[in-house]
Amino acid sequence: MIFGFSSVETSLNQLIWWFSINTILLLRLFDLIEWKSKSSKSASSGLLGIQRYALGSIATAIAWSLYLVIFFNQLNNLELFFPIVILCSLAGSSASLLAASRFISISYSMILLIPMSLMGILSTFEERQILGILGLGFALVMLITCMRASRFTLDAIHQKNLNSLLVQEMEKEKNHVAQANQELEVTSNELSQVNINLEDEVKRRTDEIYQLSNIDPLTQLVNRKAFTSCLETLIEQSIIKDSPLALLFIDLNGFKKINDTMGHQVGDSVLVQVTQRISAFSENNRAGRWNGDEFLVALPYSDQDTAMAIAKAITTSISQPIFVHGNELHLSASIGIAMAPAHSLSATELIQLADLTMCEQKRSGKKRPRLFSNDLKVKITASQMILEGLQHAIERKQLFLCYQPIQTAKDNVSFAFEALLRWDFNGKFIGPDVFIPLAEKSGLIKEIGAWVLNRACMDANHWQFSQQAAVSVNVSVIQLMDDGFIRLLDNCLRSSGLAPERLHLEVTESTFVENKVKIRHQLEQIQDRKIDVSIDDFGTGYSSLSQLQSLPVNYVKIDKSFVDNIEGKGEAIIRATLFIARELNCQTIAEGVETKEQALALSAMGVDYLQGYFFAKPMKNEDLIVWQNPITSIFS
């Protein structure tokens, strides 16, 4: 901090401070060595050692604090930040390391934090004033933390020694009873009673220790370790008695939002009420808190029908309004059920199966509890294999792009080519409808999406057959919401050399139900770069009309489902979409065109661009280069 971090020449005062604090540390080291080697371990020497240690600790804290007091106005912000971090770290560690002495831990942290904070508050610089205010806030937190840590540590030390004394006293009394039995029967009876009382006290304290190590302090349910142990016993009993056992894995939907918006105090109160509702359907120690807002319930002697009925009842109970601090709150629950011995004889595996079943039920969006099945196991295993393979798909060069032309309806010229992602998983084709949702849920979509965008721009820039045609790339809502997406766009265009006008981005209509302000800001930045935006699958999402009038888009893609039904109600929807698009200065693209009749009808309605198997199937880039449109005109 003195010799390496400072951007200016080390001053004499800094050297004096450096020698001073090192002198203090050396004196404390010598003091420790002397006390270890010469002092006895009597109570008086222990008290003297604490006093000497307190003196050294406070002297060290004063020395550290003086550094900022002396040099506060001489250091720039970067130089000031480093010692502030050191002092805050030292203060933070004092809560646990010095917890055995309330005086030392509080004095140490307050000496470190308060002078520094006051210097910041008295500073003329706004950022330092803010640091000072934050420092005082941290000092208050540390004061409370030190007091709690000290109280807990002292109670633990006291408890430990008290138990030790009780055990020693019990052994002493037992020996005395053995001797007194030979001398006097009355004395023996009295000492026996004392012995019984002591054993009761030890048992009571043993029960307290059990409570601390096996019971969740908030909900008073058994914790993860204790529940797993209990479940193992219940499974063994179910095998012996040849009776089924059901395990319910319960996850609360909507709890995180309550916790984040209303605070942990309200969240804890909600968990306590939910615990009471769950406990009404279980016996003692057969309901446990697994983690956060996840609970487990073991149901001995319960077949699948009974387990499903109880799970539905728990779901109904949890969904009832919860009143906390004058607020009416609502939750729902996702429940997965696994059976022993049908699905597993291992407690750990049974919990995993119930957990996986709950996750699958949550993903499906259904409210009904779900029972584990072999089909579900196969599905989960397959999804896990696909997800594991997807993590390495880019480096193993298994992903590739195909391109499908988008033709002008008027003269059948290739206006753009949509990039479609494909995956060859060890010789097996995996459809995007399978791996894209997995990529979105696992977070891989950002990496894969970046690869697709970069690859598409590189390919399009080398198209010699159509140097004006654009490339259209699908973008997920996760990518669009990412703060680094605009930077990624710029990097792709710069590295590929593709003109921004030749890049189109397609976003699904459901994207706009996310953070509308953030989405609009991102789209405006995209259009500032002269990149066009299309709404994909229009009409299948939410609030279509309001989205079009409030968001900057250039094209509307009419969904294939409406094109397929063009001879029925689809025609009315297509005409309505065309009218809206024209009013809002958007052009239209109809996808899924498979027949000449569809192409003629859409062109007659006024659709601007057409895409589908009637013109061409998606092709690899090397095939696209040699592709020749066999349809010279859809009117021929």
Burial of 143 (0-12, 13-18, 19+ CB in 10 A): middle
Whether residue 383 lies inside any domain: the answer is: no
Whether residue 636 lies inside any domain: the answer is: no
Res 155: pLDDT: 85
Residues 464 and 596 both lie in one domain:
yes
Res 542: pLDDT: 45
Residues 207 and 228 both lie in one domain:
no
- Which one of 24-28, 94-98, 147-151 scores highest in mean pLDDT? 24-28
User: Average model confidence (pLDDT) for the chain?
Assistant: 86
Residues 54 and 201 both lie in one domain:
yes
Res 448: pLDDT: 94
Residues 524 and 610 both lie in one domain:
yes
- 399 SS3 class: strand
The answer to whether 87 and 67 have CB atoms below 8 angstroms apart is no
Reported as half-sphere exposure (CB side, CA atoms, 13 A), residue 78 has a value of 4
User: CA 215 from chain center: how many Å?
Assistant: 26
How many C-beta atoms surround the C-beta of residue 102 within 10 A?
Answer: 16
Residues 140 and 230 both lie in one domain:
no
Looking at the structure of the chain, the number of domains it has is: 3
How many C-beta atoms surround the C-beta of residue 613 within 10 A?
Answer: 12
The answer to whether 109 and 146 have CB atoms below 8 angstroms apart is yes
Q: Which residue, among 118, 94, 119, 96, has the nearest Cα to 108 in the 3D structure? A: 94
The answer to whether 497 and 460 have CB atoms below 8 angstroms apart is no
Q: Tell me: pLDDT of 172 over 60.
A: yes
Alpha-carbon torsion, ordered 158, 159, 164, 166, to 10 deg: 110
- For 518-529, what is each residue's pLDDT tens digit? 888 999 999 999
> Of the candidates 214, 239, 269, which is a domain's last residue?
214
Whether cis (ω within 30° of 0) applies to the bond prior to 341 is yes
Whether residue 388 lies inside any domain: the answer is: no
Segment among 249-258, 263-272, 299-308, 532-541 with least mean pLDDT: 532-541
How many Å apart are CA 48 and CA 360, to the nearest integer? 63
Residues 147 and 280 both lie in one domain:
no
DSSP codes of every residue in 570-593: HHHHHHHHHHHHHHTT-EEEE---
Amino acid at 344: S
Report the largest interatomic distance among the alpha carbons of the chain, rounded to a whole angstrom.
Answer: 125
* Percent of the chain residues topping a pLDDT of 90: 41
313 is written with which tokens? Answer: 């009842």
The residues near 506 (Cβ < 8 Å, ≥ 6 apart) are 418, 472, 473, 474, 475, 533, 534, 535, 536, 557
Amino acid at 171: E
Q: Provide the domain limits for residue 284.
A: 224-372
- For 177-228, what is each residue's pLDDT tens digit? 777 767 777 776 777 777 777 676 666 665 566 556 688 889 989 998 899 9
Residue whose entry in the numeric block shows the structure tokens 């407690």: 347
DSSP codes of every residue in 555-566: EEEEPHHHHHTT
Q: Tell me: pLDDT of 319 over 80.
A: yes
- For 540-580, what is each residue's pLDDT tens digit? 554 445 556 667 889 999 989 899 999 888 899 999 989 98
Residues 201 and 242 both lie in one domain:
no
Helices (H), 467-568: 477-481, 485-496, 516-528, 544-550, 560-564
Q: Tell me: pLDDT of 463 over 60.
A: yes
- For 93-144, what is each residue's pLDDT tens digit? 887 888 888 888 888 989 988 998 898 888 888 888 888 898 888 889 888 8
Q: Any idea how long the chain is?
A: 636
Whether residue 288 lies inside any domain: the answer is: yes
Reported as half-sphere exposure (CB side, CA atoms, 13 A), residue 597 has a value of 4
Residue whose entry in the numeric block shows the structure tokens 């895409």: 611
How many Å apart are CA 626 and CA 611, to the nearest integer? 19
Residues 239 and 178 both lie in one domain:
no
> Of the candidates 158, 184, 214, which is a domain's last residue?
214
Q: Kindly indicate the confidence band of residue 323, based on its pLDDT and cuts at 50, 70 and 90.
A: very high
Which pairing describes strands 587-590 and 370-371: parallel, antiparallel, or unpaired? unpaired
Q: Tell me: pLDDT of 6 over 60.
A: no
Residues 127 and 258 both lie in one domain:
no
Whether residue 453 lies inside any domain: the answer is: yes
Segment among 209-213, 333-337, 453-457, 465-469 with least mean pLDDT: 209-213
Res 543: pLDDT: 45
Q: Tell me: pLDDT of 425 over 80.
A: yes
508 is written with which tokens? Answer: 């699904």
- For 234-268, what is each residue's pLDDT tens digit? 999 999 999 999 999 999 998 888 887 888 889 99
> Of the candidates 214, 239, 271, which is a domain's last residue?
214
Whether residue 61 lies inside any domain: the answer is: yes
Whether residue 427 lies inside any domain: the answer is: no
User: CA 524 from chain center: how many Å?
Assistant: 29
Q: Kindly indicate the confidence band of residue 632, based on its pLDDT and cuts at 50, 70 and 90.
A: low
Residues 613 and 526 both lie in one domain:
yes
Res 170: pLDDT: 78
Res 596: pLDDT: 93
Whether residue 118 lies inside any domain: the answer is: yes
The answer to whether 298 and 281 have CB atoms below 8 angstroms apart is no
* Radius of gyration over every alpha carbon of the chain, rounded to an integer in angstroms: 36
Mean pLDDT of 435-448: 86
Mean pLDDT of 80-84: 84
Q: Which residue has the higher pLDDT, 79 or 615?
A: 615
CATH number at residue 606: 3.20.20.450
How many Å apart are CA 119 and CA 103, to the nearest integer? 24
Residues 204 and 229 both lie in one domain:
no
How many Å apart are CA 283 and CA 278, to the nearest integer? 10
- Cβ-count burial 268-286 (b if 16+ within 10 Å, e if not): ebbbebbbebbbebbeebb
**Angle at the Cα of 45 from the Cα atoms of 40 and 51, rounded to 5 degrees:** 145
Segment among 3-17, 22-36, 302-316, 587-601 with least mean pLDDT: 3-17
Q: Tell me: pLDDT of 336 over 80.
A: yes
- 220 SS3 class: coil
Res 281: pLDDT: 93
Q: Tell me: pLDDT of 513 over 60.
A: no
Residues 193 and 260 both lie in one domain:
no
How many Å apart are CA 351 and CA 297, to the nearest integer? 10
Which pairing describes strands 327-329 and 322-324: parallel, antiparallel, or unpaired? antiparallel
Amino acid at 393: A
CATH number at residue 315: 3.30.70.270
